[in-house]
Amino acid sequence: MSVKKHIPNAITCCNLFSGCIACTLAFEGSFVWAMAFIVLGAVFDFFDGMAARLLKVSSPMGVEMDSLADDVTFGFAPAAMVFSFIRQLPLPYFLVPVADILPYTAFFIAVFSAVRLAKFNIDKRQTTSFIGLPTPANALFWASFVAGAGDWILSLNAGWFLVLGMIAMSSYLLVCEVPMFSLKFKRLAWRANKRRYIFLIVALPMLALGLVSAVAIIAWYVILSVYLSFKK
């Protein structure tokens, strides 16, 4: 039995393992570490597909495992972070009766991430680009938002309204029919990669924002994608 055919699935399992740890840390309120393991899961997610292509050992089982791992790491883990965060938010008096229920709205992120992944697996239009926001981008946005901007949101009187609105917007972006470009370069020519270079030129300085950098970068990615889709 060839060992190499198991390498991509082993890397996918590392993604899943990282996602499970991120979930546990999220429920404990360790948001920075939860974000770190989501990022680690994203690294494994990048390399499992690359390994499958290089070794030429892709399989239907690998596709199913990848989707399962992705929904844990990029769906349930960020949802757990948002769930724990909402429980810390001060609520106005009229929402106090539903204070125990409100945090569970965070799990719409996990639900719509699962729908997004299922659509991706059967949608032949998404071989070179995306339709809707990719789950890793959505997860990194939420992880960065909670870990980096959490204290600021807690200081707002209407922080709960902002978070609930963002959950609704995030859920919509995951399953919407808006085309979003891939960041994969097949060649380096400016003309073929104009949108990617424009994205990177603006996004790279945003890394200086630290923990909240992913919030700005993913927001810029969505804005640019929406602009380009309407420009056509």
Q: b/e map of 85-121 (b: 16 or more CB within 10 Å)? A: bbeebeeeeeeeeeeeebbebbbbbbebbbebbeebe
Whether residue 147 contacts residue 153, with contact meaning beta carbons closer than 8 Å, is answered with no
Q: In terms of Cα–Cα distance, which of 144, 82, 90, 155 is closest to 113?
A: 82
Give, in words, the CATH class of 4-180.
Answer: mainly alpha
Whether residue 212 contacts residue 144, with contact meaning beta carbons closer than 8 Å, is answered with yes
Task: Give the residue extent of every domain in the chain.
Answer: 4-180
Whether residue 11 contacts residue 40, with contact meaning beta carbons closer than 8 Å, is answered with no
Q: What is the pLDDT of residues 71-116, one digit of tens each?
A: 999 999 999 999 999 999 988 888 888 889 999 999 999 999 999 9
Q: What is the pLDDT of residues 177-218, one digit of tens each?
A: 899 988 876 677 877 788 889 999 999 999 999 999 999 999
